[in-house]
Copies of this chain bind each other. A is one copy, B any other.
């Protein structure tokens, strides 16, 4: 064990929880009781409550050889906030359960929690409970996020109608190219002491992979402009996969234009360096945490004004299926090649 590090067993489960959750001022009036009892107590008044949960496992969803614990904590929280925004809601509370093997010290867990706390502070969310346990194997992180939304205003995946415009926020494929870069540097550095990878000019794709943000700003812009999407979800598994989800849930088809897919130039450069198909990476890479949504065609002009939103296509009748129009005018069916946790083991 490194010097200055504390073995978890010296604190025990309750000592550890106490240390991790001390000084957690509650920020939301909806949170009536936080950490420390059998359950947290919340009150949403007239509003609808939203609940989402994510399980992150070492070796499947993250690799501690190149993901700093603080970033991992931040990202673990963000991916849940993103799901709440994708319902047109506001994240209010999270519970955090972690399982840690004996190679982790109290300081490691504090590092992980510092990222979770930072995310909570940044997005105004209360940490209200959780569970801390030993694990015989890798690190396990399970986060549940609760949010709220005006009654009846939750936006699901199932409301898209033919002629609606398909929109996506930000740009796609960057997090995936960031992962490719990290994995390559990890291979190159294997066994080499003091290896210093050169990440100059690649900061954006790394940040997209290691410290993504949830699109609170886009939800606020939509509200400000009086736009309620007919369907919405966040892009976690890849645009192709999410398009198919919306089309299936809404019982519609869609057309997406290849040349409208928003891609950052760092993503493009990296794809070229790796000799990868750029559009495939953008369509299937995943972990973008951007918002994919549909709006009635009458909202065309309002959406156009929102910075950081791109209209990428439109919704069709179901019999037309889900397809991409390429630059040269061909129509290619959209297929889910997104990340599947069960094919990676």
CB of A28 within 8 Å of the partner chain = no
Is there an interface contact between B48 and A41, defined as CB atoms closer than 8 Å?
yes
Q: Which of B48, B58, B146 contacts A43, CB < 8 Å? A: B48
CB of A225 within 8 Å of the partner chain = no
Query: How extensive is the interface on chain A, given as a class?
Result: 35 or more
Is there an interface contact between B140 and A99, defined as CB atoms closer than 8 Å?
yes
A341/B156 contact (C-beta < 8 A), A32-B48, A128-B51, A142-B55 known: no
Is there an interface contact between B12 and A38, defined as CB atoms closer than 8 Å?
no
Is there an interface contact between B137 and A37, defined as CB atoms closer than 8 Å?
no
Closest to A236 in B: B38
Give the CA-CA distance A232 to B13 in the complex, in Å.
Answer: 21
The digit string for A6-49, where 1 denotes a CB below 8 A from any CB of B, is 00110011001000000000000000110011111111100111
Give the CA-CA distance A42 to B53 in the complex, in Å.
Answer: 14
Is there an interface contact between A144 and B147, defined as CB atoms closer than 8 Å?
no
Please give me the 9 A-B residue pairs with the lowest Cβ-Cβ distance, nearest first. A137-B137, A142-B142, A55-B97, A39-B52, A59-B136, A39-B50, A144-B144, A38-B83, A38-B86
**Interchain residue pairs with CB less than 8 A apart (6):** A41-B50, A41-B87, A44-B44, A51-B93, A52-B95, A55-B97
